[in-house]
Structure 1
Amino acid sequence: MKYPEEETTGNDTSVTEFVILGFSNHLHTAHLLFLLFVCIYFITVLGNILIILIINVDPALQTPMYFFLRNLSFLEICYTSVTLPKLLANLLSENKTISFVGCAAQMYFFLVFGATECCLLAVMAYDRYSAICNPLRYADIMTKKMCIQLAAGSWICGSLVALGHTTFIFTLPFCGSNVINHFFCEIQPVLTLVCGDTYWNEVQIIVAAAFLIMMPFMLILVSYIRIISTILKMKSAKGRHRAFSTCSSHLTVVALFYGTAIFIYIRPKSSYSLDVDKFLSLFYSVVTPILNPIIYSLRNKDVKGAIWRMGIKLCPLKT
Structure 2
Amino acid sequence: MSHEVKVKKKLSLSNRVFYIFNTVFWIIVMLIILYPLYLVLIASVSDPDAIVRGEVIWHPVDFSLIGYKAVFNYSELLHSYANSIIYTFVSVVISIIVTMGAAYSLSKPKFPGKTVFNFIFIFTMFFNGGLIPTFLTMKDIGLYNTPLVMILMGSVSVWNLMVARTYIQTSIPVELYEAAMLDGATHFQHFFKIVLPLSKTILAVLAVYYGVAKWNDYFTGLVYLKDRALLPLQTILREILATLQVDVSGDYMISMTENAASMTEAIRTANVAKYCIIVVATGPVVILYAFMQKYFEKGVMIGSLKG
Do the two structures share a fold, i.e. TM-score over 0.5? no
TM-score where L is the length of structure 1: 0.28
TM-score by length of 2: 0.29
